[in-house]
Structure 1
Amino acid sequence: MLRSWLIRRPRRPPTTAWSSGWHRWGTNEGLAAARARGRVGGRPTVVNEQLLRAARDMLPNPDDNIETIAKLLGVSVGTLYNHVPDLRELSVPRIPVQLDRGAG
């Protein structure tokens, strides 16, 4: 026996274009007021100029790859890619051993 009350989803209250616009307006007003008071919000960044300088200094070293640099600095690889826009150009290209042996 199938019980229909187990299958039904809870209903959401109906929203109209007017009410959703009103909520959006109130949210934007509150964010603007917070910005005017100097409150920006969001998660604080862990990256500072000293950390960026250290990452850029380590990149030309062929012994260090991006993963080890990120681990040494205590940040993720994605954080390095986000904050160092020229990261791919600064890293030294590495030829895999298999390709290097096959060329000769």
Structure 2
Amino acid sequence: MTEKISDLLTDMYFTVDDLDGSYGTGQVIRPAADGIYFVRFDGTEVTLPLELASLGEMLETTDEGYKLWRFFDTLEERAKWIEWLDAPSKPRVVSLVKPTK
């Protein structure tokens, strides 16, 4: 490869949703070929093997249109997203009773 592949995903951190409701995290390492990237999922202690992910995979959505992959510039941004994602939701009570005088 004499021509450098231009990309914006190298060194980005990501979360990827699984259909069972769980998610994985990792980092895009570098381009492998046009439209294909080496990615490393967190929890993999060895430097190799890296996994391959295509842009098509990274752009997939659920049947409802939600993105499966989300990208972040820094670990801190991803950590904030995960904190929000894992936080228990707070129930909201809306009163439908008209107040009396």
What is the TM-score of this pair, normalised by structure 1? Answer: 0.20
Higher relative contact order (CA 8 A, sep 6+): 2
The structure that is strand-richer by fraction is 2
Bigger proportion of residues as helix: 1
Larger Rg: 1
